[in-house]
Amino acid sequence: MTTATNRSAADSATAVERLIRMYRRMVAIRLFEERVNDLYTRALMPGLAHLYIGEEAVAVGICEALAGDDYITSTHRGHGHCLAKGASADRMFAELLGKKSGYCKGKGGSMHIADPTTGNLGANAIVAGSAGIATGAAFSSKYLRTNRVVVCFFGEGALGQGVLYEAMNLAQLWKLPVIYACENNLYNEYTHYSETTAGEILARPAAFGLAAESVDGQDVRAVYGTAARLVDRARRGEGPAFLLSNTYRFRGHHVGDVSRDYYRTKQEEQRWMVERDPITILADGLIERNLADRAQLDRIHSELTSEMNAAVESALAAPYPTPDEAEQDVYA
């Protein structure tokens, strides 16, 4: 029989493992995105790329609270969500480069990564486009009694879309296990959210009776803690929730958005990057509390760097699909 002290020692061991795992995931996303930026600026990557740098703690903290077969839906800024839910970097890079070995055989690209094996129902390039899909997956969970929870990721820009409110209303009426995870990075493209969003954000889901909470999106421990509570609650059949994570994108709206002075100041960007970097915040916390040392964190960093570099190389070397594949997969 385990004694009480043993149990709490074991609990704190898993808690530390969890923190290290979340650290690793956040660094992986950061390194992934830096490589996307590099590929894009070297004209090796076609299309659009919306980087998640600065927001890593949101996806990582929330996905940490999910089981492997729980579902997520993602957005145009989706690389972080996909990686946090367990996607592999090489197949993601391959998809971003339009290669056949990519998650969607090159058909989807950066904004449409989907992967049934990790419960990823798909990234979506229509703002709020996945509100219905996520709520529908929660409907399935209840209907089929699979007890899966669904997280619907979206930016605060999606608060402008009516379909989100129709979906939340249905979710609450039917007590569906879905978490609406709003990532408020302050800007809808090039416009501050205060210019597009009337009233209090949390008052909206609260009006439907959803459990509505907000959290510091730069603090992965806080995100995880709050998400875990809301996910458990949903899994117990107590209904949907709305989790507002306050965060910031460190880079442009997309990789090409380089002159940003007309909508936000360099000082503001600097302040967030220096004072509110989620990776630094967690690293400092771990070291301060003697849960990890710098050398260990550096090792994680260099392991992941080699992993990411190898993933890029393999994706660059991978073949494109052949043109005849364009006509495949239209129908099931």
Partner 1 sequence: MPEPEHKATAEHAETAENRSFSASSAVTKVRELSFAEAIREALAEEMRRDSRVCILGEDVAEAGTPFKVLSGLVEEFGKERVIDTPISEAGFTGVGVGAAMTGVRPVVDIMFGDFLTLVMDQLVNQAAKVHYMSGGTWKVPLVVRATLGATRRSAAQHSQSLHAWLSHVPGLKVVLPSTPYDAKGLLKTAIRDDNPVVFFEDKMTYKMKGPVPSDEYTIPFGVADIKREGRDVTIVATSSMVQVALGAATLLDEVGISAEVIDPRTTWPLDERTLVESAKKTSRAIVVDEGYLRYGVTAEIASVIAEGAFYHLDGPVMRLGAMHVPIPFSPPLEDATVPTDRSVFEAACKLCKRP
Ligand X SMILES: Cc1ncc(C[n+]2csc(CCOP(=O)(O)OP(=O)(O)O)c2C)c(N)n1
Which residue, among 276, 179, 279, 159, has the nearest Cα to 231 in the 3D structure? Answer: 179
Residues 34-63 touching partner 1, rule: CB under 8 A, are 46-48
Which residue, among 268, 327, 314, 288, has the nearest Cα to 54 in the 3D structure? Answer: 268
Which residue, among 200, 133, 201, has the nearest Cα to 171 in the 3D structure? Answer: 133
Total residues interacting with partner 1, rule: CB under 8 A:
44
Q: With respect to partner 1, which residue has the nearer C-beta, 213 or 257?
A: 257
CA distance readout (Å), 24 to 15, 16, 51, 255: 14, 12, 18, 24
Residue among 71, 93, 187, 248 that touches ligand X (CB under 6 A):
187
- The answer to whether the beta carbons of residues 61 and 220 sit under 8 Å apart is yes
**Residue 276, binding choice from partner 1, ligand X, none, Cβ under 5 to 8 Å by partner class:** none
Q: How do 241-246 and 178-184 pair as beta strands? A: parallel
**Residue 185, binding choice from ligand X, partner 1, none, Cβ under 5 to 8 Å by partner class:** ligand X
Residues 147-176 touching ligand X, rule: CB under 6 A, are 155-158
Residue among 25, 77, 85, 148 that touches ligand X (CB under 6 A):
77
- The answer to whether the beta carbons of residues 181 and 136 sit under 8 Å apart is no
Closest approach of Cβ 111 to partner 1, in Å?
6
Residue among 118, 188, 245, 247 that touches ligand X (CB under 6 A):
188
What string marks each residue from 250 to 289 as x (binds partner 1 by CB under 8 A) or -? ------------xx--------------------------
Residue 185 touches ligand X, criterion: CB under 6 A: yes
